[in-house]
């Protein structure tokens, strides 16, 4: 069934009554609940006559159109609570800024097998497959983070998707300081720094081709942390804390006191490479090898000094 049907001209009386009692009577209270969650007023837009055009005879939407519509928006509210629980204020701000219209709609679409959500023209669209109205309603907004990541971004926004930025915030930003403190303690110099250059990493991974792992956005933060952790492990394994000569040699080779993570198009061999470049220690890998053998990335630290 196509997703471009015209709305029916008139709903049956029993259907109109169910729309009134099952949807319209509950709409304002549900909008108020969304306001409580997001701190910004959002409105619901839905054309019952259009939705009814996709109702299967004697099916849920056919017999209880208002209840069916309400179920989609209640499902969104339930998923929104879960989203906020996992993403906090950052997620709320992202939703409010990306969905500039602050409108939630319900529309047919063939983009999903049963249902899903996407951002179109600044509106958050809850969508159902034309053949599956009323099916798997609970799943309609279960992946809001992906909907936000694939949405057009406001002017001046980061080139990284929301999923990638959330990974950085939760898996890198909250944990890297402890590792950096350990490095500074071991090397007895509080000027050492890590430089992940996430924009460069994201650009390389996004445009790296079909062999790049498809979950790179969700692990961008955790994998970056792990690459730097391989440096920490190398310091411990080679006992830098106990050896002044090794510490001096490292500072001679890396006068800028920066450990950088960089993606390159190709390596001569192996999955990772450690190089001295421009006064920095650079951990290199390729988009295709992102996340492979991370913990061996710095195993040749002493060899290159």
Distance between CA atoms of 44 and 21, rounded to whole angstroms?
16
Task: Give the model's pLDDT for residue 114.
Answer: 94
Task: Give the model's pLDDT for residue 197.
Answer: 92
Task: Give the model's pLDDT for residue 297.
Answer: 95
pTM, rounded to two decimals? 0.81
Q: Which parts of the chain register pLDDT below 50?
A: none
Task: Give the model's pLDDT for residue 1.
Answer: 65
Task: Give the model's pLDDT for residue 157.
Answer: 72
pLDDT in tens, 68-86: 999 999 999 999 999 999 9
pLDDT, mean over the chain: 95
pLDDT in tens, 79-136: 999 999 999 999 999 999 999 999 999 999 999 999 999 999 999 999 999 999 999 9
Would you say 238 and 197 are in contact if contact means Cβ atoms under 8 Å apart? no
């Amino acid at each position: 069934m196509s997703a471009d049907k015209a709305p029916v001209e008139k709903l049956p009386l029993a259907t109109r009554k169910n729309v009134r009692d099952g949807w319209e009577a509950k709409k304002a209270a549900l909008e108020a609940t969304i306001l409580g969650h997001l701190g910004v007023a959002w409105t619901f837009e839905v054309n019952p006559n259009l939705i009814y055009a996709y109702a299967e005879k004697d099916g849920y939407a056919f017999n209880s159109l208002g209840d069916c519509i309400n179920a989609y928006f209640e499902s969104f509210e339930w998923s929104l609570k879960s989203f906020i629980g996992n993403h906090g204020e950052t997620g709320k701000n992202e939703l409010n800024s990306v969905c500039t219209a602050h409108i939630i709609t319900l529309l047919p679409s063939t983009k999903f097998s049963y249902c899903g959500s996407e951002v179109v023209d600044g509106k958050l669209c809850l969508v159902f497959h034309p053949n599956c109205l009323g099916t798997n309603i609970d799943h309609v907004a279960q992946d809001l983070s992906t909907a936000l990541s694939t949405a057009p971004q406001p002017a001046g926004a980061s080139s990284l998707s929301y999923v990638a930025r959330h990974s950085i915030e939760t898996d890198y930003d909250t944990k890297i300081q402890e590792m950096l403190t350990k490095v500074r303690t071991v090397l007895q110099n509080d000027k050492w720094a890590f430089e992940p250059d996430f924009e460069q990493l994201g650009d390389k991974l996004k445009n790296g081709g079909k062999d790049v792992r498809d979950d790179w956005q969700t692990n961008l933060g955790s994998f970056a942390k792990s690459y730097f952790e391989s440096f920490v492990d190398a310091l411990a394994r080679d006992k830098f804390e106990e050896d002044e000569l090794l510490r001096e040699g490292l500072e001679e080779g890396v006068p800028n006191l920066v450990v950088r993570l960089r993606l390159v198009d190709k390596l001569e061999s192996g999955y990772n490479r450690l190089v001295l470049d421009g006064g920095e220690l650079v951990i290199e890998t390729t988009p295709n090898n992102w996340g492979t053998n991370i913990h061996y990335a710095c195993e040749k630290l002493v060899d290159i000094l």
